[in-house]
């Protein structure tokens, strides 16, 4: 089966074709980062308009790259939520129109299921069951994954998501949007041990996370260091490194706990922050088998939606009626 996947939940327009036996056939992505950069964050209305502009072209390009035409498709999967409602609607209506025209099933997919299953697109896919640490701009959760659709939430952030904290600290250091990767780059030439930061919630039992206090620690430190409202270059690098180091240490402790509590030995790290190399290096020291999505499929993309949709459509699932977008949707 050839399944088209469409992702438009936030500021990336992603389209891909996944074949249920031959694997990923194509992957097209347009990132709107430049559109939103001057506002320092995603502007929902601009995101919707950009999806409208780019999506038809990306679908054509994904079909071309896969060497097929629309009539060769057997199903269309799209991100139904969570995400920005206007952005989601663009993907939903496009997917559904295309499926109706072709007389094939359409299926709304959970964005986080896409992230969770993205490691399946790697050369070394994790066997079930595993613990997933999902760390993105909108979510930070530990999930026990027993199979496709069999998920148990173990814990999550009580305030900011990990990527959100990266982005906010990056912003206070005057780094461009989206801040996470820029902060990671700056941190490479910083001393992670110059500023001591408290690791949030590690002394409390359980698997909940919190990042807003850590962000405040960075803010207080930045204010102390600022001269004429600006943090000097090496100071900023040291602060970035300390923040990143503290996030990595905190997640290391929590991952160890998640593995111990579930008795599982495989850990999957997914979502945009899974691209962070310091975090990867630290988690590699866990006594567990570690899995990641390929770097290109850590951040939002159509391939993970095509994959998750393909598993479900292959099993006979399809939308019933015309389900609407779910901007907030627990997994």
Binding-site residue positions for Fe cation? 111, 115, 300
User: Residue 311, interface with ligand KG4 (CB under 6 A)?
Assistant: no
Regarding 190 and contact with ligand KG4 (CB under 6 A), the answer is no
Annotated binding site: 111, 115, 134-138, 167, 180, 276, 300
SS3 214: helix
Q: Per-residue b/e over 47-63, b at no fewer than 16 CB within 10 Å?
A: bbbbbbebbeebbebbb
Closest separation in Å from C-beta 299 to ligand KG4: 3
Of the candidate spans 21-29, 92-100, 130-138, 142-150, the one that interacts with ligand KG4 by CB under 6 A turns out to be 130-138
Residue 309 in the binding site for ligand KG4 (CB under 6 A)? no
- 161 in Cβ contact with 215 (< 8 Å): no
Q: How far is the CB of 180 from ligand KG4 (least distance, A)?
A: 2
- CA neighbor of 14 nearest in space, from 326, 297, 269: 297
Write the DSSP symbol of residue 119: G
Nearer to Zn ion, 94 or 301 (CB): 301
Q: What is the 3-state secondary structure (H, E, C) of 141-196?
A: EEEEEEECCEEEEEEEECCCCHHHHHHHHHHHCCCCCCHHHHHHHHHCCCCCCCCC
Question: What contacts 167, CB < 8 A, 6 or more positions away?
Answer: 41, 137, 177, 178, 179, 180
- 167 counts as binding ligand KG4 under rule CB under 6 A: yes
114 counts as binding ligand KG4 under rule CB under 6 A: no
Token code pair at residue 195: 């500023």
Q: Among 2, 48, 136, 217, which residue interacts with ligand KG4 (rule: CB under 6 A)?
A: 136
Cβ nearer to ligand KG4, comparing 44 with 102: 44
As a whole number of angstroms, the distance between CA 250 and CA 287 comes to: 16
Output 184 or 306, the one with its CB closest to ligand KG4: 184
Smallest gap, in angstroms, from Cβ of residue 184 to ligand KG4? 4
Judged by CB under 6 A, does residue 192 bind ligand KG4?
A: no
Plot region of 328 (φ>0 → left; ψ -120 to 50 → alpha; else → beta): beta
Regarding 166 and contact with ligand KG4 (CB under 6 A), the answer is yes
Binding residues vs Zn ion (CB under 5 A): 136, 300
Query: Could you tell me if 197 and 243 are in contact, meaning their C-beta atoms sit under 8 angstroms apart?
Result: yes
Please provide residue 86's backbone torsions phi and psi, each rounded to the nearest 5 degrees. -65, -40
Taking the C-alpha atoms of residue 197 and residue 200, their distance in angstroms, rounded to an integer, is 9
Give the separation between CA 263 and CA 130, rounded to whole angstroms: 10
Number of residues binding to ligand KG4, judged by CB under 6 A: 20
Q: Which is nearer to Zn ion, 253 or 331 (CB)?
A: 331
Least distance (Å) between residue 192 CB and ligand KG4: 14
> Taking CB under 6 A as the rule, does residue 197 contact ligand KG4?
no
Among 108, 119, 272, 309, binds ligand KG4 (CB under 6 A): 272
Kindly tell me which of 136 and 311 has the beta carbon lying closer to Zn ion.
136
Question: Could you give the CA distance from residue 3 to residue 20 in angstroms, rounded to a whole number?
Answer: 8
**Which CB, 83 or 155, lies closer to Zn ion?**
83
Nearer to ligand KG4, 220 or 296 (CB): 296
Residue ranges binding ligand KG4 (CB under 6 A): 10, 136-138, 163-164, 166-167, 178-181, 184, 271-273, 275-276, 299-300
């Amino acid at each position: 089966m050839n399944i088209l996947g469409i992702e438009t939940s936030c500021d990336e327009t992603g389209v891909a074709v996944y074949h249920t036996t031959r694997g990923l056939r194509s992957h097209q992505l347009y990132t709107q980062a430049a559109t939103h950069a001057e506002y320092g964050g995603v502007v929902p209305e601009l995101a919707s308009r950009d999806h409208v502009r780019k999506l038809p072209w990306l679908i054509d390009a994904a079909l071309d790259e896969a060497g097929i035409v629309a009539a060769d498709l057997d199903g269309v999967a799209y991100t139904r939520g969570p995400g920005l409602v206007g952005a989601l609607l663009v993907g939903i209506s496009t997917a559904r129109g295309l499926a109706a025209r072709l007389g094939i099933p359409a299926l709304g997919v959970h964005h986080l299921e896409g992230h969770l299953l993205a490691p399946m697109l790697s050369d070394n896919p994790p066997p079930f069951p595993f613990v997933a640490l999902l760390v993105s701009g909108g979510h930070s959760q530990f999930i026990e994954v027993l199979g496709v659709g069999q998920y148990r939430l173990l814990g999550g952030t009580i305030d900011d998501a990990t990527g959100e904290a990266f982005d906010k600290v990056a912003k206070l250091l005057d780094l461009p949007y989206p801040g996470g990767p820029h902060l990671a780059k700056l941190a490479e030439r910083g001393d992670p041990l110059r500023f001591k930061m408290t690791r949030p919630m590690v002394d409390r039992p359980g698997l909940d996370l919190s990042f807003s206090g850590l962000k405040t620690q960075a803010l207080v430190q930045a204010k102390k260091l600022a001269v004429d409202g600006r943090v000097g270059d090496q100071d900023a690098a040291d602060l970035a490194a300390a923040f990143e180091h503290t996030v990595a240490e905190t997640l290391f402790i929590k991952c160890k706990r998640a593995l111990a509590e579930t008795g599982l030995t495989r850990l999957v790290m997914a979502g945009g922050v899974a691209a962070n190399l310091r975090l990867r290096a630290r988690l590699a020291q866990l006594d567990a088998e570690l899995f990641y999505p390929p770097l290109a499929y850590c951040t939002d993309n159509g391939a993970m939606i095509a994959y998750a949709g393909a598993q479900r459509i292959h099993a006979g699932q399809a939308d019933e009626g015309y389900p609407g977008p779910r901007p907030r949707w627990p997994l």
